[in-house]
Amino acid sequence: MTTPNPVTNQTRYHIAVVDDEVDMLDVLQDVLQEEGYRVSALRSGQALHELIAHDPVDLIVLDLKLAGENGLQVAREIRATSPVPIMMLTGKGDETDRILGLEVAADDFLMKPFNLRELMARVHALLRRSKQLSVTLQAVADQDHECLWFDDWRLDLTRRVLYDPHSQPVNLTFGEYNLLESLVTSANHVLSRDSLLERTRGTDSDSFDRSIDVLILRLRRKIETNPKHPRYILTERGLGYVFQAQVRKR
């Protein structure tokens, strides 16, 4: 594997890396530190919980297979209380677990063995979007919000929040929101899976094709009255997906 060129302006970001393989943990820690990130290298989910209780992180890189622990369960527990981006590391034979992970928690997956440049591209993309969110939230307290409406649903582009017809916020993960925004802002236009991957991750991806399909399924469960017969997010077989609605800007 080739080490990326170092970047020195990333120190403000805190990344937690969780892997029970010492060699892999050392490689990830070294590479991320060379990029200028502050890194906490951990070997268990319990250590991760203890860390974030007193030292919040900006990104979690979590191995799916931890000794004596279930990486998916660790991700579920984190997601229940925090929107922090989660990237899961998986093996070649873990496709079922990858799909389950996308359904419940993770924002991205990377299959071992991986190229370090690909790892850093994914890390940069997730952190860039996370930073945009936090900066926006701090800057807009006294500003009008840019919103898109479809029927009685409201997508607040400024705060990155979806409100249901009863004005209640809908709990969306980092990846779910990115996908929904991409669909709504291109309403009534078919978007391919490749296009959606690029829009939601900010980088080209070799991820298995089911990742976008699973995110679509999650969104349908949250906004459709009948997810099996969707009104808004429609499948265009062989082409991709289309968000079908009259979208209004206010």
pLDDT 10s digits, 26-45: 999 999 999 999 999 999 99
Angle between helices 71-79 and 95-104 (to 10 degrees): 10
**Domain ranges in the chain?**
14-137, 143-249
Least confident of 7-11, 68-72, 161-165: 7-11
pLDDT at site 202: 52
| 53 pLDDT more than 70 | yes
- The CATH class for the domain spanning 143-249 reads mainly alpha
Q: Pick the more confident residue, 32 or 145.
A: 32
| 175 pLDDT more than 90 | no
pLDDT at site 137: 47
When the pLDDT of each residue in the chain is averaged and rounded to a whole number, the result is 83
122-134 pLDDT tens trace: 898 888 876 655 5
pLDDT at site 95: 64
Summarize the confidence of residues 35-56 as an average pLDDT.
93
* CATH number at 14-137: 3.40.50.2300
Q: Pick the more confident residue, 196 or 201.
A: 196
Percent of the chain residues past pLDDT 90, beyond the cut: 46
| 91 pLDDT more than 80 | no
By the 10 Å C-beta count (0-12 exposed, 13-18 middle, 19+ buried), 109 is classed as buried
* Closest C-alpha to 210, from 115, 57, 103, 116: 103
pLDDT at site 101: 64
pLDDT at site 9: 45
Neighbouring-strand partners of residue 42: 18
Summarize the confidence of residues 84-104 as an average pLDDT.
73
Summarize the confidence of residues 110-122 as an average pLDDT.
88
Summarize the confidence of residues 84-103 as an average pLDDT.
73
Identify the helix (H) or strand (E) that includes residue 197: helix 193-201
Are domains 14-137 and 143-249 of this chain identical in fold?
Answer: no
pLDDT at site 215: 87
pLDDT at site 133: 52
Residues 51 and 240: their CA atoms lie apart, in Å, by 40
Identify the helix (H) or strand (E) that includes residue 188: none
Q: Which amino acid is at 54?
A: H
Q: Pick the more confident residue, 179 or 4.
A: 179
Peptide bond preceding 56: is omega within 30 degrees of 0, i.e. cis? no
DSSP structural state of residue 157: T
Residues 232 and 188: their CA atoms lie apart, in Å, by 10
